[in-house]
Structures are given as C-alpha cells and as structure tokens.
Amino acid sequence: MTSSKFASARLIDFDQIPVVDISAIETDRGFLQIAEKLVETAKTVGFFYITGHKISPKLIEQAFASSKRFFNLPISKKSTVSVDKNQRGWMGQGMAQLEGSKTHDAKEVFFWGWDVKANDPDVRAGVPMVFPNQWPDEVAPFLRRDLIPYYHAVMSLGRLIMSALAYGLGKPKDFFVKAYEKPLGRGQLVYYPPMSKEDEQQERFGAAAHTDFGVLTFLLQDMQGGLQVLNQSGQWIEAQPIEGSFVCNIGDLLERWTNGYLVSTKHRVINRNKTARYSIPVFCDPSSKTIINPADFSGGSKNYKKITAGEHISNRNQKNFTQYKN
C-alpha cells in the first residue's frame, strides 16, 4: 500500500520562491537592482520566477499549441524522429530513469537544440552535444515553425539574465555571455500524462527528484501545477504556476562554475490532475567547448574541477537516459 505521504508538498506563498520583475532591466539602476536580487536568490534558493520579460504571449501560445499537437500524434508518427544518442528527437514513455530514482519517469519528451548543419566542423569532429536537430517536418511541420522563434526569444532572455548574474557576481557583464556565440541551448517539450494507480503504487513521478545538468533553466509551465522544489529545510514546496512567468533555476554547471556559490536545487514533477500537464524547459547552456573553471570565482565553498560544458552534459545524459545504454 502506498504511503499517504507519497509526493506530499506544502502549498505556500509565492514569496518562498522569489519573484524577480525584470521590466526595468534596461535602465542602469534597474539592471543593478535586478542583478543584486538575482544573485541573492541564486545563492540561497536557486529558484526564482521571472516576470516583466518581453517575450510575446503569441510566441508562448504557439509553442504550447504545437507541443500539444505533436504529443497527440500517434506513436507511429512521433517515432519517425525517435531520440538518438545526441539527445535529439522524441523520447517515449519509460526511457528516462533519473539517477537515484526507484523507477522511470512518467513522461514523453521532444528534444532539440541549437540548429547546426551536418557538415558543421564541430559535428564532424564529434564535439559533445553538437549535432543536427531531428525535426518531424513530414508529420508535424508546425513544430519547427513555432518552436524556433520561441527558442531564440528565450535564449536572448537567457543571455540577458546571465549578464545580470555576472555583474551581480562582480564580473564584467559579458563574462558568461561571451561563451554563448554557439550555445548548446537545449530545449524540451514535455508531456506528463495524469498519474495512474500503478504510477502511485510504484511511487513514480513525472520527473523524479533531480538537479538540472546545465547552467540556467527557463521553464514555461502550464497552469496545472505539479512542480515541487526542495527547500533548505528539506521540505518539498509547490512551485505554483504564475501566468506569464518563467520558472528559472540554477543548474549544476553554474553551481560548479561559481565553485558552489550559486546553488543547484533539487526539484521534481508529479501530475495529480485528471488531464495532461505540459511544460517547455529551455536550458540556457554555453558552447560545448566552454571550459567551466571554478577558479574563476573565489567566493565558493567547494572544490570542483574544470570540465567542458559539453562533456559534463553528455556524461549526465548517459547516466539518465536508456538510449545510451542500448
């Protein structure tokens, strides 16, 4: 019998996960204040909502609509772009089992990244995580059409937030951004079906407890809820949806880059609703060859070693997704 405490979480005020309004970020004073707030939040909570951004609601609506249309296609059509070992394409149920979890995640995912050509020098050289996307143009031409403009808008927002974080950390504004000329910038469409009785019996989550692999995540979530964040007291709290906002969180690479000064926080997803949950995370990661050097920051408290961004993310993928094990 499943414990009644399975996936229990406290419903608390939004203030527990700070809201950062960036509407004034283009002014000198606003930039400074926002940079300070972002760093304070990133080193204590690791999660924050972003409001006041200028990404068009139309782009957001189109991205969500295309996601739903794609996941509603029959498996025979989605599997025309089955996920590969470069983490591009559609991943069906049962293929993601995150490190330390009891069972696989209850979700489907479509993965894409920065568009490169097959003859790109980095592709030919086998640089980790640099590979052409698998767009299902024959069965879902709307996906590429609607995701590309949304993706570039979020990556632009990501560069802006990264410049503010750099400034708040006492570095030049371009300290991080100069590594984003040819970013990895991984995107996902995620479909979480309603939790079944079997899922509850198996204590199966939509996404089991984990930290994100990369630098900075921008999550667009629908209004269903289900995202839970582990606070410093060891309690799971609900990250309630705020319409028009992004949920942002520090990833492992940025914690590593700042030698532990900024924190990558555990989180999980469970869909207790009777209808599907959809989300669109974009992982704002630098170029694969970027050297993540903790020695760049003296304020951290850990002893991380240098690693390239692509190597780190590739290593984590191999430990969490079944296509790498076949």
93-137 pLDDT, tens digit each = 866 566 555 667 778 999 999 999 999 999 999 999 999 999 999
In whole angstroms, what is the distance from residue 263 CA to residue 117 CA? Answer: 35
In the predicted model, what is the mean pLDDT of residues 263-280?
91
Amino acid (1-letter code) at residue 133: N
In the predicted model, what is the mean pLDDT of residues 51-69?
96
Q: Which of 61-65, 269-273, 295-299 has the highest mean pLDDT?
A: 61-65
Query: pLDDT tens across 208-219, in order?
Result: 889 999 999 999
What's the pLDDT score for residue 1? 36
Query: pLDDT tens across 22-40, in order?
Result: 999 999 999 999 999 999 9
Q: Average model confidence (pLDDT) for the chain?
A: 88
Helices (H), the chain: 28-44, 57-71, 75-78, 121-125, 141-168, 174-177, 197-201, 252-257, 309-320
Query: pLDDT tens across 179-199, in order?
Result: 999 999 999 999 999 887 777
What's the pLDDT score for residue 139? 96
What's the pLDDT score for residue 6? 44
Does residue 252 carry a pLDDT above 60?
yes
Domain ranges of the chain: 14-324
In whole angstroms, what is the distance from residue 224 CA to residue 49 CA? Answer: 16
Q: Which band of pLDDT confidence, cut at 50, 70 and 90, is reported for residue 317?
A: confident
Report the range of poorest mean pLDDT among 40-49, 51-60, 98-107, 138-147: 98-107
pLDDT more than 70, % of the chain = 89
Amino acid (1-letter code) at residue 20: V
Does residue 303 carry a pLDDT above 50?
yes
In the predicted model, what is the mean pLDDT of residues 161-170?
97
Does residue 169 carry a pLDDT above 80?
yes
Looking at CATH, the fold of the domain delimited by 14-324 is given as Jelly Rolls (2.60.120)
Does residue 3 carry a pLDDT above 60?
no
What's the pLDDT score for residue 95? 61
For 181, other C-beta atoms within 10 Å of its C-beta total 9
Query: pLDDT tens across 36-49, in order?
Result: 999 999 999 999 99
What's the pLDDT score for residue 4? 45
In whole angstroms, what is the distance from residue 49 CA to residue 246 CA? Answer: 6
DSSP per position, 262-275: S-PPPEEE---SSS
